[in-house]
């Protein structure tokens, strides 16, 4: 007899059957149900032996007078293997009211009889009378309904000792709430079939519950963190529900991710990007380690390398075309302020006098190209860094600045920044790679690229996501950190979400701009942390000791996902196709490249 045939309801007098491999052999056909069936089954009064597993079924026999909301939560969230079945059988209200009328008459008669005899009032009878009358009123007014409810639990274990321990744990949790279980003695077979997803209530052991207490048994009471739309970020590790969110439906569109190297932060980010692209959202990535190149190639995006020898250039003097709600003078003033910040980084800081000279020189450089607040920025030719150097050389007090600037205009770094822009970011997926840029210039390059992206974002209002990987580079300088915070605060106005990712938690949080960036991020993600930074993380995010140790012991792609004041433990999961596109594993990338070579050779 096949195992699934065992699950079919049988007559009460039918003998208990066992699975015989010989019958499968004689039939000569191996079906799916034969493959998933256990090797053997034994039915005993208190349990079932299913191959290597032992199953034991219980039913709830008694409830207290009141059931508090969430009383079932400790059982649902128990980190054990078990099945729960809840059977709800409605009872006809008219029939119940007739029965209640007789019961009320009996209770009232007992109360009157005790009063006639001069006996002391019985609180139990008075309470029962009040409960019956209240429930009768609610039933009559259709505010409540009555149901026959069966609650069955089947637990599993490898040994009887393990089963006994789990039984004791579940019983203690329920009995502390005055809810009592009993094993389905000599009915384990019926009990096991009752908890299977077959909608068969063979035990038929019920308690009468009205609507209010019945609602407290609702099984999906473990903590969820999800929305009705958006992309899948991962699986809730507590109850395997989906962590589903649309960042563009939150109070701001920003997120921040903290994780140590190798914990899966780039993998998780690429997975979010891939899923975000399917929702008509443009994504721009600042990639410091060339991890997004294969993904950009696969998804039809554009990949720009920013380095000293790169053919791709960005001119910091470019001016965005003002929007309808902006004036050219405000755009020009904002760009001058940002350029002062850029030169402060490039020149290793500025004194107050030098700051004033640079500010005036920038204005005169634009004027040299006939660019004024009244100009049409779409038709002007922006100046270059060499034009700025020329103006600066003719100003009193500018000699020192010219000397420090010369390496960007005539020296080794001249090819990086002193050329017209030739980068077009009109595409759905854009990646700027900074891997080949010297470490000394990375903060300059990140500031330059983010400023260029910001101008493009302000020019055309579209739903965009800007991903800044290894953002701790930008926290090294006050100007870059301040600009990053400005993006986080002002991005929502321009339909821009900012995803900040960093592995150097301490450097990020030491900056006075670190905490405000976290505060301005609706989504926060913590993956596996190092022991050296976990105490700082615990303090900033108000983690419990259990959550602290969870982050220390998490596997790759596991961590804690925050939205507002709520958070859950999460596991990031990708499909096979997604994994092939976003993987950062060198062995997988080599295998993909080898497969491509073989395919081209075959063609």
Can you name the residues that pair with 234 across neighbouring β-strands?
243
- Whether pLDDT at 71 is above 60: yes
Model pLDDT, residue 14: 44
Which segment of 125-129, 147-151, 479-483, 538-542 scores lowest on mean pLDDT?
125-129
What are phi and psi for residue 315, nearest 5 degrees? Answer: -90, 115
CB 597 within 8 A of CB 587: no
Instruction: Tell me the C-alpha distance between 215 and 217, whole Å.
Output: 5
pLDDT in tens, 278-316: 888 999 999 888 888 888 888 889 999 888 888 888 889
- Give DSSP secondary structure letters for 173-220: HHHTTT-EEEE-TT-HHHHHHHHSTT----S---EEEEHHHHHTT-S-
Which has the minimum average pLDDT: 137-151, 324-338, 475-489, 579-593? 579-593
| Highest averaged pLDDT of the listed ranges 26-30, 239-243, 447-451 | 447-451
**Can you tell me the mean pLDDT for 28-37?**
70
Q: Assess whether pLDDT exceeds 80 at residue 70.
A: no
Q: What is the pLDDT of residue 221?
A: 52
> What phi-psi label fits residue 234: left (phi over 0), alpha (psi between -120 and 50 degrees) or beta?
left
> CB within 8 A of 3, min separation 6: which ones?
19, 33, 34, 36, 37, 38, 41
Check whether 273 has a pLDDT greater than 90: yes
Residue 260 confidence class, pLDDT cut points 50, 70, 90: confident
* Residue 275 pLDDT class (50, 70, 90 cuts): very high
- Cβ-in-10-Å burial (0-12, 13-18, 19+) of 220 comes to exposed
> Which among 206, 168, 184 is positioned nearest to 43, based on CA atoms?
184
Q: Give how far Cα 596 sits from Cα of 267, 587, 589, Å.
A: 22, 14, 11
Among 220-234, 333-347, 555-569, the range scoring the smallest mean pLDDT is 220-234
- Distance between CA atoms of residues 489 and 550, nearest Å: 31
- Residue 7: burial class (beta carbons within 10 Å; 0-12, 13-18, 19+): middle
Mean pLDDT of 239-245: 83
pLDDT at 75 (0 to 100): 84
Residue 381's SS3 state is coil
Per the listing, tokens 């596997």 go with 555
Comparing 377 with 552, the larger pLDDT belongs to 552
Encoded tokens for 114: 């005790």
| Secondary element (H or E) of residue 60 | strand 53-62
Residue 530: pLDDT band with limits 50, 70, 90:
confident
Q: Where are the alpha helices (DSSP H) in 196-327?
A: 211-215, 265-277, 293-298
Choice between 262 and 224, residue whose per-residue pLDDT is larger: 262
User: Hunting for tokens 């755009």 — which residue is that?
Assistant: 331
Which has the minimum average pLDDT: 197-201, 377-381, 425-429, 587-591? 587-591
Distances (CA, A) of 555 to 262, 335, 501: 10, 45, 18
Domains assigned to the chain: 232-314+423-603 (3.40.50.300), 315-420 (1.10.8.730)
Instruction: Give the residue among 320, 296, 288, 231 at the shortest CA–CA distance from 574.
Output: 231
Whose tokens are 């034969």? That residue is: 34
Contact between 203 and 193 (Cβ < 8 Å)? no
Q: How far apart are CA 294 and CA 298, in angstroms?
A: 6
Calculate the dihedral angle through the C-alpha atoms of 434, 436, 438, 442, rounding to the nearest 10 degrees: 0
Edge-to-edge strands of the sheet including 255-258?
242-245, 231-236, 566-571, 558-563, 523-527, 255-258, 496-502, 464-468, 282-287, 429-433, 302-305
Is the predicted pLDDT of residue 161 greater than 80, yes or no?
A: yes
Q: Residue 196 and residue 178: Cα distance in Å, rounded?
A: 27
Tell the residue number behind the tokens 């759905």, with chain if given. Answer: 428
The separation between the first and the last C-alpha atoms of the chain, rounded to the nearest angstrom, is 53
- Coil, strand or helix at 485: helix
Rounded percentage of the chain residues whose pLDDT exceeds 90:
23
Residue with tokens 């390398």: 305
Average pLDDT, the chain: 84
Q: Which residues pair with 371 in a beta bridge?
A: none
CB atoms within 10 A of CB 136: 17
Give 558-575 pLDDT, tens digit per residue: 999 998 778 888 999 998
Is the pLDDT higher at 220 or at 49? 49
Of 324 and 359, the structure prediction assigns the larger pLDDT to 359
User: CA angle, corner 72, sides to 67 and 74, nearest 5?
Assistant: 130
Whole-number pLDDT of residue 12: 46
Q: What is the DSSP letter of 11?
A: -
């Amino acid at each position: 007899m096949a195992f699934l045939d065992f699950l079919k309801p049988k007559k009460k007098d039918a003998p208990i059957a066992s699975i015989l491999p010989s019958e499968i052999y004689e039939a000569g056909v191996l079906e799916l149900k034969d493959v998933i069936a256990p090797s053997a089954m034994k039915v005993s009064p208190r349990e079932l032996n299913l191959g290597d597993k032992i199953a034991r079924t219980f039913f709830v026999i008694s409830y207290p007078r009141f059931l508090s909301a969430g009383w079932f939560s400790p059982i649902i969230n128990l980190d054990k293997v078990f099945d729960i079945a809840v059977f709800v059988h409605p009872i006809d209200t008219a029939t119940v009211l007739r029965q209640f009328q007789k019961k009320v008459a009996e209770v009232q008669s007992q109360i009157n009889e005790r009063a006639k005899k001069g006996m002391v009032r019985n609180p139990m009878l008075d309470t029962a009378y009040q409960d019956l009358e209240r429930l009768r009123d609610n039933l009559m007014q259709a505010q409540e309904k009555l149901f026959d409810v069966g609650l069955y639990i089947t637990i599993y274990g490898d040994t009887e000792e393990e089963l006994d321990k789990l039984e004791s744990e579940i019983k203690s949790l329920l009995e502390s709430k005055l809810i009592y279980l009993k094993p389905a003695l000599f009915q384990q077979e019926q009990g096991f079939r009752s908890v299977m997803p077959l909608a068969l209530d063979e035990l038929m052991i019920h308690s009468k519950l009205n609507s209010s207490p019945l609602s407290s048994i609702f099984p999906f009471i473990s903590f969820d963190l999800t929305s009705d739309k958006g992309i899948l970020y991962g699986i809730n590790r507590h109850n395997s529900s989906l962590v589903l969110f649309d960042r563009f439906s939150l109070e701001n569109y920003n997120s921040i991710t903290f994780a140590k190297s190798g914990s899966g932060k780039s993998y998780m980010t690429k997975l979010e990007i891939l899923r975000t692209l399917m929702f008509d959202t443009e994504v721009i990535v600042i990639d410091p380690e060339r991890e997004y190149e294969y993904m950009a190639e696969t998804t039809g995006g554009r990949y720009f390398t920013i380095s000293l020898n790169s053919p791709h250039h960005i001119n910091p003097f470019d001016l965005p075309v003002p929007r309808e709600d902006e004036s050219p003078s405000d755009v020009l003033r904002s760009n001058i302020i940002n350029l002062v910040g850029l030169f402060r980084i490039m020149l290793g800081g500025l004194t107050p006098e030098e700051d004033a000279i640079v500010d005036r020189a920038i204005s005169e450089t634009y004027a040299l190209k006939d660019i004024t607040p009244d100009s049409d920025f779409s038709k002007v030719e922006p100046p270059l860094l060499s034009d700025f150097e020329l103006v600066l050389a003719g100003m009193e007090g500018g000699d020192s600045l010219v000397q420090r600037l010369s390496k960007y205009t005539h020296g080794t770094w001249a090819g990086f920044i002193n050329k017209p822009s030739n980068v077009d970011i009109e595409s759905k997926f854009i990646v700027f790679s900074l891997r080949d840029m010297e470490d000394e210039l990375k903060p300059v390059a990140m500031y330059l690229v983010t400023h260029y992206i910001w101008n493009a974002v302000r020019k055309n209002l579209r739903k965009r996501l800007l991903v800044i990987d290894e953002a701790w580079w930008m926290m090294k300088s006050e100007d870059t950190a301040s600009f990053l915070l400005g993006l986080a605060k002002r991005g929502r106005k321009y339909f821009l979400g900012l995803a900040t990712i960093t592995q150097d938690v301490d450097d990020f949080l030491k900056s006075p701009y670190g905490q405000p960036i976290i505060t301005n991020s609706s989504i926060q993600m913590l993956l596996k942390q190092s022991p050296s930074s976990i105490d700082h993380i615990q303090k900033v995010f108000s983690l419990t000791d259990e959550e602290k140790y969870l982050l220390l012991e998490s596997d790759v792609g596991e961590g804690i996902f925050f939205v507002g004041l709520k958070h859950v433990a999460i596991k990031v999961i990708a499909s096979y196709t997604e994994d092939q596109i976003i993987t950062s594993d060198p062995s997988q990338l080599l295998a993909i490249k080898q497969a491509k070579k073989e395919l081209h050779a075959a063609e």
